[in-house]
């Protein structure tokens, strides 16, 4: 086994015992990147020298007796996270040469922990998409089949973990952007609760749902990374600390008080006996691919065999998740991306005489088709006369979607669904109509709109053509801030 | 609901986006179809429902409005992308 193929947990043991060095581990990843990424296009930038320097520092710390956590573990960061002195492009022509002057808080935290940043991963432009096809720097290919997408928007991160180019990667999830590519690439993707991880230094997309989380090879690894990422940050007013999380877990109205009071005392890593796991019927529609349904049910049965009780539940407002998401998201995008005016940062393509013209020409040239589409849609929905009909209406239906989950969590401890209605599709297959791509998010927007923690774990494989099989993921959801319990439940599914 | 090409032009103007004729026609078609799709929300009765303003349950996260020291190199790097004059960012004439 090559060192880059190790899980964090396995590498940890070897590093702590002195069997391997952080430099050897980093070299193995850099070698894999050199060998494989020509075909995959998972990375937009590899910082070879910087990574080796960081590895050297980590080895010093290890030699000095420091142990544990992410010390000496090489990783990749999604290219919408600020990295000081390194390019941060968001896969947009608008920021093609932009060098961030500071680090995102998650990058700072990982650096302090001794993790080694190898480079930055590809994404849909500004994270607008579900296939990494809207990247201005080319599509990322799925390591399981190069003719297929890796999913998105964190497609580069998912592909990189699946191809063992790193030990873990960071993604961001606004409406499924960690979970769906994790499903397509057969890796673990964790979207934490809204507010658990600081977003300082993440390029804002939809501020009311954006979160940062890990893509890993195992659930146990996701837990290790999350423990470093989580925590309040004075630079992000929406982030919360552990005291707040503990308080919220106690007072969350009726939301699974059973889970809060009883089950948290139970070590779910050891026993999940008596847990109630809800399967919402809206997430298993009659037209769901029967092979995929079988794979998910088989995986769910593993939990049942361990003593959990599978319960049929209903989330009646689920079908409005996509329409709500595709109003709120473009609205927030049109506002958040107004800052890209060609003046403060970004590439100036054309000089003009007037300021208005300067904005229009440079934004018109700098943004890609999907980004412009979303800005247009949001601008329309927020404009005079339409605000109530679109934005306010969507936020009202969002209230009902949140209430759906609250009701469900008064009956069950966790919710189980497919992550995506299908395996990775062919590159170009879903490009003709933007709406087709929006429907990709059908099972993943709910948790985003309600701010819930959700994890996608590999569930098995389904046939995509002939005898070709591709991975699919199963999604588990918990009440807000119950990620520890969610992770412990999911750990029962680690191979 | 089909948006008129004038409406598309108006939205592009509001969004400060210069679009080609081809883009205008494409967005006319695509935005219309997306708006038709999201119109399904009309069937939901929300007369007694409070719109979600935030999901964080946080209120009044305040800090003192003070100037704090910041890394000089970071400040210089942050302003590197701008055309400057006497320490100020230079923009084109507004009026």
Whether A78 sits among the annotated catalytic residues: the reply is yes
Q: Do A450 and B46 touch (CB under 8 A)?
A: no
Residues 365-424 of A with CB under 8 A from B: 365, 367, 369, 372-373, 375-377, 379-380, 383, 390, 392-400, 402
On chain B, the residues whose CB falls within 8 A of the CB of A134 are none
- Please state, in angstroms and as integers, the Cα–Cα distance from residue A31 to each residue in A23, A24, A47, A396, following that order: 12, 10, 12, 51
- Please state, in angstroms and as integers, the Cα–Cα distance from residue A288 to each residue in A175, A430, B53, following that order: 20, 18, 34
**Architecture of B5-43 per CATH?**
Orthogonal Bundle (1.10)
A320 to chain B nearest CA, in Å? 7
The CA distance from A168 to A161, in Å, is 6
Task: Provide the token pair at B89.
Answer: 């960012």
Instruction: Name residues whose C-beta falls within 8 Å of residue A35's C-beta, 6 or more positions apart in sequence.
Output: none
Q: Kindly list the averaged pLDDT for each block of 10 residues, start to end, along chain A of length 495.
A: 97 97 98 98 98 98 95 98 96 93 96 98 98 98 98 98 98 98 98 97 96 98 98 94 88 58 71 92 96 97 96 97 97 96 74 88 94 97 92 97 94 95 96 88 97 98 95 96 94 87
> In the block, which residue shows the tokens 């109509």?
A433
Q: Where are the domains of chain A?
A: 3-229
Q: What is the pLDDT of residue A158?
A: 98
Question: What's the distance, CA A265 to chain centroid?
Answer: 29
On chain A, the residues whose CB falls within 8 A of the CB of B81 are 98, 344-346
On chain B, the residues whose CB falls within 8 A of the CB of A433 are 30, 33
The CA distance from A151 to A332, in Å, is 23
Please name the member of A353, A363, A380 whose beta carbon is closest to the beta carbon of B16.
A363
Q: What is the pLDDT of residue B70?
A: 86
Q: Give the strand pairing for A276-280 and A43-46.
A: unpaired
Q: Where are the domains of chain B?
A: 5-43
Q: Does A240 touch chain B (CB under 8 A)?
A: yes
One of A177, A256, A318, A456 is an active-site residue; which one?
A177
Contact A331, A391 (CB under 8 A): yes
Whether A153 sits among the annotated catalytic residues: the reply is yes
The CA distance from A455 to A168, in Å, is 15
Q: What is the pLDDT of residue A354?
A: 87
Q: What is the pLDDT of residue A6?
A: 98
Residue A272 phi/psi, 5° resolution?
A: -115, 20
Overall size of chain A counted in residues? 495
**Architecture of A3-229 per CATH?**
Alpha-Beta Complex (3.90)
Whether A120 sits among the annotated catalytic residues: the reply is no
Contact A463, A424 (CB under 8 A): no
Compute how many other C-beta atoms are within 10 angstroms of the C-beta atom of residue A389: 15
Cis peptide before A136 (omega within 30 of 0): no
* Among A49, A36, A218, A237, residue whose Cα is nearest residue A143: A36
Q: Do B81 and A372 touch (CB under 8 A)?
A: no
Please name the member of B11, B16, B89 whose beta carbon is closest to the beta carbon of A359.
B16
Contact B90, B84 (CB under 8 A): yes
The CA distance from A434 to B24, in Å, is 15
Q: What does A387-455 look like in DSSP terms, one character per residue? A: TIIIIIHHHHHHHHHHHHHHHHTTT-SEEEEESSSSSPPBTTTT-S-HHHHHGGGTTTHHHHHHT--EE
Q: Is residue A170 within a helix (H) or strand (E), and if so which, with residue range? A: strand A168-173
Contact A470, A145 (CB under 8 A): yes
Q: What is the pLDDT of residue A371?
A: 97
A267 to chain B nearest CA, in Å? 28
**What is the value of ipTM here, to two decimals?**
0.94
A227 to chain B nearest CA, in Å? 20
Q: Do A343 and B82 touch (CB under 8 A)?
A: yes
Q: What is the pLDDT of residue A347?
A: 65
């Amino acid at each position: 086994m090559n060192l880059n193929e190790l899980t964090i947990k396995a590498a940890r043991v070897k590093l702590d015992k002195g069997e391997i060095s952080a430099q050897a581990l980093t070299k193995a990843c850099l070698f894999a990147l050199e060998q494989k990424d020509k075909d995959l296009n998972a990375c937009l930038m590899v910082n070879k020298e910087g990574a080796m320097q960081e590895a050297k520092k980590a080895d010093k710390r290890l030699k000095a007796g420091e142990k544990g956590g992410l010390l000496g573990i090489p990783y990749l960061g999604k290219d919408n996270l600020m990295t000081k002195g390194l390019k941060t492009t968001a896969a947009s022509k608008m920021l093609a040469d932009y060098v961030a002057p500071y680090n995102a808080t998650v990058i700072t935290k990982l650096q302090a922990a001794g993790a080694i940043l190898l480079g930055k991963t590809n994404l849909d432009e500004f994270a607008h998409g579900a296939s990494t096809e809207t990247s201005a720097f080319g599509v990322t290919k799925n390591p399981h089949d190069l003719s297929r997408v890796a999913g998105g928007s964190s497609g580069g991160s998912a592909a990189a973990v699946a191809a063992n180019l790193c030990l873990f990667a960071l993604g961001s999830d606004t409406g499924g952007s960690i979970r769906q590519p994790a499903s397509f690439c057969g890796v673990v993707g964790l979207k934490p609760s809204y507010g658990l991880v600081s977003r300082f230094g993440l390029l804002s997309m939809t501020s009311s749902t954006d979160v940062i989380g890990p893509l890993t090879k195992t659930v146990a690894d996701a837990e290790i990374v999350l423990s470093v990422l989580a925590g309040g940050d004075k630079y992000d007013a929406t982030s919360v600390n552990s005291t707040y999380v503990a308080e919220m877990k106690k007072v969350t109205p009726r939301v699974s008080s059973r889970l809060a009071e009883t089950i948290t005392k139970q070590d779910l890593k050891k026993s999940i006996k008596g847990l109630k796991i809800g399967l919402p019927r809206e997430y298993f529609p009659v037209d769901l691919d029967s092979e995929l349904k079988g794979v998910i049910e088989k995986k769910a049965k593993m939990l049942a065999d361990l003593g959990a009780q599978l319960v049929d539940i209903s989330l009646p407002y689920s079908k409005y998740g996509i329409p709500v998401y595709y109003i709120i998201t473009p609205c927030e995008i049109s506002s958040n991306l107004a800052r890209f005016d060609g003046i403060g940062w970004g590439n100036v393509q054309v000089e003009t005489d007037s300021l208005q013209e300067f904005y229009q020409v440079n934004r018109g040239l700098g943004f890609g088709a999907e980004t412009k589409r979303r800005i247009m849609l949001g601008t329309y929905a927020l404009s005079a006369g339409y605000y109530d009909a679109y934005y306010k209406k969507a936020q009202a239906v969002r209230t009902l979607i949140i209430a759906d989950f609250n009701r469900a969590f008064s009956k069950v401890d966790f919710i189980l669904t497919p992550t995506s209605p299908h395996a990775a599709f062919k590159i170009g297959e879903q490009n003709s109509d933007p709406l087709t791509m929006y429907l990709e998010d059908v099972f993943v927007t709910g948790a985003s709109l309600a701010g819930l923690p959700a994890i996608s774990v590999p569930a098995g494989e389904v046939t995509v053509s002939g005898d070709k099989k591709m991975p699919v993921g199963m999604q588990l959801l918990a009440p807000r801030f119950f990620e520890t319990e969610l992770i412990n439940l999911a750990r029962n599914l680690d191979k | 609901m089909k948006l008129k090409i004038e409406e598309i032009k108006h939205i592009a103007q509001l969004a400060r986006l210069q679009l080609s004729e081809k883009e205008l026609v494409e967005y006319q078609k695509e935005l219309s179809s997306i708006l038709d799709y999201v119109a399904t929300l009309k069937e939901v009765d929300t007369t007694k429902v409070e719109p979600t303003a935030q999901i964080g349950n946080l209120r009044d996260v305040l800090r003192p409005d003070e100037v704090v020291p910041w890394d000089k190199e970071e400040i210089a790097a942050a302003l590197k992308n701008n055309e400057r004059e006497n320490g100020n960012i230079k923009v084109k004439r507004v009026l």
